């Protein structure tokens, strides 16, 4: 996972663009996998909250976007490990 500086405007723009590229159906898949993987109540709730803002990253803080993107990277890595 790439590390982003939430105080850097360029990094914030990159994070927002990555967030906006996630479709509603992908959000549903991430949430289902997070529940199945039991990653924690707070993490599941932030994913659900982020899914309601899909395509509208401008309404989320850079800190929240960074948190959500790190969770998604973690879920993607877990998914890749299970496929092997």
**How many distinct structural domains can be found in the chain?**
1
pTM of the model as a whole: 0.86
Answer whether residue 30 is part of any domain.
Answer: yes
Answer whether residue 1 is part of any domain.
Answer: no
Answer whether residue 3 is part of any domain.
Answer: no
User: What are the distances in angstroms from CA 65 to CA 37, 78, 80, 83?
Assistant: 21, 20, 22, 27
Given this model, what pLDDT does residue 45 score? 95
Answer whether residue 61 is part of any domain.
Answer: yes
Answer whether residue 35 is part of any domain.
Answer: yes
Answer whether residue 39 is part of any domain.
Answer: yes
pLDDT by residue for the chain (84 residues), tens only, comes to 678 888 999 999 999 999 999 999 999 999 999 999 899 999 999 999 999 999 899 999 999 999 999 999 999 888 776 655
- DSSP codes joined into one string, 29-62: HHHHHHHHHT--HHHHHHHHHHHHTTT-GGGS-H
Give the domain extent around 57.
Answer: 9-83
Answer whether residue 2 is part of any domain.
Answer: no
């Amino acid at each position: 996972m790439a590390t982003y500086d939430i105080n850097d405007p360029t990094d914030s723009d990159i994070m927002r663009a990555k967030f906006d590229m996630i479709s509603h159906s992908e959000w549903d898949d991430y949430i289902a996998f997070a529940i199945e993987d039991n990653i924690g109540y707070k993490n599941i709730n932030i994913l659900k909250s982020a899914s309601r803002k899909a395509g509208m990253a401008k309404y989320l803080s850079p800190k929240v976007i960074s948190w959500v993107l790190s969770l998604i990277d973690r879920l993607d890595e877990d998914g890749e490990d299970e496929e092997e």
